[in-house]
């Protein structure tokens, strides 16, 4: 019999529980559907689509070119495909975005009513949201108890599974379109430039994990805060698309604990994977996370509207070098280091007083790792309106953050090359540089590099005053 394995955010053969089960149950028809129909305003953004294009090509190669590629609404497409090829079952790994859950439920009802076997599996999380709850059965809203009391006391994550060895693949060339025909690549050279920074696909993800565990993990605890250091894994896009499972990352790090003796680094890395679990749990239990403040008192926050300031932020032209470096890193590479995400996020919502939705939307379109759970939770955290958020009065100062976390300026100079020869002392506040220093560095402020678009001290005070006006509606 034929079983359809529907690939979604699990674009890999190794540690893929649904694929293993499908291969045991029959011949496997591997299917991918680009579903923009059900995604509403969260269809995959431009950087994500570009990544997906390459990820699908890699997957298709590992399936001997037999991946069936389609576009449209799976609720219509899959039952027709089942009937056409005479499949007896449809298997998939679960997703947790509210729109995918609703769609999958509908499809499951439809198929089971027609006596088609439907099986779903956990292929993307270490602990699914409904397995980690407080004693009273309600979801955790604070990370530390979620992770320490909830996750670490629950059954350990599944050990990674081998890829199915004797899988019989079935193709349906009549139904399949080419990956190119999905038109996932942007029609300007931005996409090619961005993709040049990445190796995409399952094999590349495995190499990245291996290199990180052997190279970057030792020193991760402190090193992860410094954007120029090679101490972050850069696995986020691979994890989002499921080119690697969190279980593989989790156990690769744990295995190192037995051999290495940098246990603190390993524990912090595991807890970062724990943040990913926490974000997914928040999204599952609070499906309005991408749109609504988790703390309702922020609903009355007096956000400003300033298109020029928003554009300057998006384009990396705020006049604050660490902010501009981060925003340009994002534009050039589709990625931004976590420390810098926090600095630019705080600047947008606190110094510019612009709604976090603007930041969420820009990141959504520009990040190769754009992920509904992590992005929404990250923005709610930085805006201070999330469940377990940075307190609102914590405003990151872009000058001191730059001085502290990019002391030798190598990250900032890489992405803001016009400041390349400005001495470190003035790198994060060029307007304080004496005229002679600016001249020697070949910079005219306002011409070669912008003047600051806001004063960070005054805007911080304005933000705190705005916060003082927020209240819970009676």
Dist CA 319 CA 438 (whole Å): 14
Nearer to ligand FAD, 2 or 200 (CB): 200
By the rule CB under 6 A, 345 interacts with ligand FAD: yes
Nearer to ligand FAD, 211 or 437 (CB): 211
14 touches 162 (CB < 8 A): yes
In which order are the strands placed within the sheet that holds 2-7? 68-71, 27-34, 2-7, 87-93, 117-121
268 touches 224 (CB < 8 A): yes
By the rule CB under 6 A, 398 interacts with ligand FAD: no
Residues in region 277-316 near ligand FAD by CB under 6 A: 279
Q: Strand 68-71 relative to strand 87-93: parallel, antiparallel, unpaired? A: unpaired
Dist CA 183 CA 168 (whole Å): 29
Site string for ligand FAD, 438-467 (x = CB under 6 A): ------------------------------
Query: Among residues 227, 226, 229, 274, which one has the least CA distance to residue 249?
Result: 274
Asked whether residue 420 is marked as a ligand-binding residue, the answer is no
Nearer to ligand FAD, 10 or 369 (CB): 369
Dist CA 332 CA 334 (whole Å): 6
Asked whether residue 234 is marked as a ligand-binding residue, the answer is yes
Query: Among residues 74, 68, 44, 59, which one has the least CA distance to residue 371?
Result: 44
Q: How many residues in the shown chain lie near ligand FAD by CB under 6 A?
A: 27
Q: How many residues does the chain have?
A: 474
Provide the minimum distance between the beta carbon of 371 and ligand FAD in the complex, in angstroms, as a whole number.
Answer: 4
Asked whether residue 235 is marked as a ligand-binding residue, the answer is yes
Site string for ligand FAD, 235-264 (x = CB under 6 A): xx--xx------------------------
Asked whether residue 396 is marked as a ligand-binding residue, the answer is no
Provide the minimum distance between the beta carbon of 408 and ligand FAD in the complex, in angstroms, as a whole number.
Answer: 21
Asked whether residue 220 is marked as a ligand-binding residue, the answer is yes
In Å, how far are 314, 347, 438 from 435, measured between CA atoms? 28, 27, 5
Would you put residue 253 in left (φ > 0), alpha (ψ -120 to 50) or beta? alpha
Dist CA 7 CA 13 (whole Å): 10
Task: List the one residue from 85, 179, 273, 443 that touches ligand FAD (CB under 6 A).
Answer: 273
SS3 159: coil
- The helix (H) or strand (E) run that includes residue 69 is strand 68-71
Dist CA 383 CA 401 (whole Å): 17
Nearer to ligand FAD, 54 or 339 (CB): 339
Site string for ligand FAD, 211-230 (x = CB under 6 A): -------------x------
Provide the minimum distance between the beta carbon of 160 and ligand FAD in the complex, in angstroms, as a whole number.
Answer: 16
Asked whether residue 233 is marked as a ligand-binding residue, the answer is yes
Which residue of the chain is nearest ligand FAD when measured via CB?
Answer: 378
Nearer to ligand FAD, 50 or 375 (CB): 375
- The helix (H) or strand (E) run that includes residue 91 is strand 87-93
Nearer to ligand FAD, 5 or 337 (CB): 337
Residues in region 351-390 near ligand FAD by CB under 6 A: 363, 367, 369-371, 374-375, 378-379, 382
Provide the minimum distance between the beta carbon of 277 and ligand FAD in the complex, in angstroms, as a whole number.
Answer: 8
Nearer to ligand FAD, 379 or 467 (CB): 379
Provide the minimum distance between the beta carbon of 281 and ligand FAD in the complex, in angstroms, as a whole number.
Answer: 11
Nearer to ligand FAD, 396 or 426 (CB): 396
Asked whether residue 449 is marked as a ligand-binding residue, the answer is no
Query: Among residues 421, 414, 431, 434, which one has the least CA distance to residue 318?
Result: 431
Q: To the nearest 10°, report the CA torsion of 25, 28, 32, 38.
A: -30
Site string for ligand FAD, 30-49 (x = CB under 6 A): --------------------
Give φ, ψ of 411 to 5 degrees.
-70, -50
Catalytic residue positions, numbered? 272, 275, 303, 338, 356, 379
Asked whether residue 371 is marked as a ligand-binding residue, the answer is yes
Site string for ligand FAD, 164-203 (x = CB under 6 A): ----------------------------------------
Provide the minimum distance between the beta carbon of 370 and ligand FAD in the complex, in angstroms, as a whole number.
Answer: 5
Asked whether residue 271 is marked as a ligand-binding residue, the answer is no
In Å, how far are 31, 63, 389 from 28, measured between CA atoms? 9, 10, 44
By the rule CB under 6 A, 276 interacts with ligand FAD: yes
387 touches 141 (CB < 8 A): yes
* CA 130 to chain CA centroid, nearest Å: 22
129 touches 138 (CB < 8 A): no
Residues belonging to the binding site are: 220, 232-236, 269, 369-371
Question: Binding-site residues for FAD, please?
Answer: 220, 232-236, 269, 369-371
In the complex, the residues that contact ligand FAD under the rule CB under 6 A are 224, 232-236, 239-240, 272-273, 275-276, 279, 338, 341-342, 345, 363, 367, 369-371, 374-375, 378-379, 382
């Amino acid at each position: 019999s034929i079983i359809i394995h529907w690939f979604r955010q699990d674009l890999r053969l190794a540690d893929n529980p649904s694929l293993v089960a499908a291969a045991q149950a029959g011949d496997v028809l591997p299917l991918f559907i680009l579903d923009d129909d059900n995604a509403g305003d969260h269809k995959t953004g431009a950087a994500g689509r570009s990544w997906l294009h390459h990820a699908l090509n890699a997957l298709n190669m590992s399936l001997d070119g037999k991946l069936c590629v389609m576009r449209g609404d799976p609720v219509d497409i899959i039952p027709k495909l089942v009937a056409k090829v005479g499949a007896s079952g449809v298997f998939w790994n679960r997703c947790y975005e509210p729109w995918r859950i609703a769609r999958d439920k509908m499809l499951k009802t439809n198929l089971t009513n027609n006596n088609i076997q439907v099986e779903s599996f956990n292929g993307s999380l270490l602990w699914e949201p409904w397995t980690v709850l407080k004693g009273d059965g309600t979801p955790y809203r604070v990370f530390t108890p979620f992770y320490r009391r909830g996750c670490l006391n629950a059954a350990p994550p599944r050990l990674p599974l081998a890829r199915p060895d004797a899988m019989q693949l079935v193709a349906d060339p009549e139904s399949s379109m080419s990956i190119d025909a999905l038109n996932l690549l942007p029609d300007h050279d931005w996409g090619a430039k961005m993709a040049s920074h990445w190796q995409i696909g399952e094999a590349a993800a495995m190499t990245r994990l291996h290199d990180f565990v052997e190279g970057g993990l030792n020193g991760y605890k402190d090193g992860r805060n410094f954007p120029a250091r090679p101490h972050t894994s850069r696995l986020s896009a691979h994890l989002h698309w499921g080119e690697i499972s969190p279980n593989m990352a989790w156990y690769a790090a744990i295995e190192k604990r037995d051999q290495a003796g940098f246990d603190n680094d390993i524990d912090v890395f595991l807890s970062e994977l724990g943040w990913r679990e926490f974000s997914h749990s928040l999204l599952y239990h609070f499906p309005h996370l991408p749109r609504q403040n988790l703390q309702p008192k922020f609903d009355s926050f007096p956000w400003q509207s300033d298109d020029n300031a928003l554009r300057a932020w998006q384009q990396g032209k705020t006049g604050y070098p660490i902010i501009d470096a981060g925003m340009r890193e994002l534009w050039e590479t589709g990625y931004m280091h976590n420390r810098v995400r926090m600095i630019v996020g705080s600047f947008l919502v606190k110094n510019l007083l612009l709604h976090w939705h603007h930041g969420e939307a820009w990141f959504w379109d520009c990040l190769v790792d754009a992920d509904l759970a992590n992005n929404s939770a990250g923005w709610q955290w930085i805006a201070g309106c999330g469940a377990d958020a940075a307190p609102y009065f914590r405003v990151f100062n872009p000058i001191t953050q730059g001085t502290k976390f990019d002391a030798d300026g190598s990250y900032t100079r890489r992405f803001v090359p016009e400041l390349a020869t400005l001495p470190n002392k003035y790198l994060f506040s060029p307007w304080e540089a004496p005229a002679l220093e600016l001249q020697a560095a070949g910079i005219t402020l306002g011409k070669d590099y912008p003047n600051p678009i806001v004063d960070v001290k005054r805007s911080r005070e304005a933000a705190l005053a705005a916060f003082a006006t927020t209240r819970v509606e009676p």
